[in-house]
Amino acid sequence: SQQGEEDPQALSIQEGENATMNCSYKTSINNLQWYRQNSGRGLVHLILIRSNEREKHSGRLRVTLDTSKKSSSLLITASRAADTASYFCATDPNTGGFKTIFGAGTRLFVKA
């Protein structure tokens, strides 16, 4: 199975609600990143959290990292219809710095 695995696979919420997505990984990492992909488009970087950090914020995004549990979560607060997209976690598995492993993604649908 893959290094990064997100859950849930799909999430449907109402506009204004919060959305939480989780990511688990298997090996030690240097950092973990979250990306968004709108339908038919390339991935867009959201946030990077290093292995020595526990929490990071960017606008309505909050990312946590628990290296002891090998897991991360992405929280989107006050969601908007425009947040509808797939969200991927990506890990740097400490293998020299040029191999990024993406999880299977969470498909978020925000209903207006």
Q: Which is nearer to another protein, 2 or 18 (CB)?
A: 2
Using CB under 8 A as the binding rule, whether residue 72 contacts another protein is answered as: no
Q: How far is CA 56 from CA 14, 39, 65, 80, in A?
A: 25, 26, 9, 21
Closest CA to 26 of 88, 101, 97: 101
Q: Is 102 in the site for another protein (CB under 8 A)?
A: yes
Cβ atoms of 71 and 90 closer than 8 Å: no
50 vs 111, beta carbon nearer another protein: 50
Binding site for another protein (CB under 8 A): 2, 30-31, 33, 35, 37, 40-45, 48, 86, 88, 90, 92, 96-102, 104-105, 107
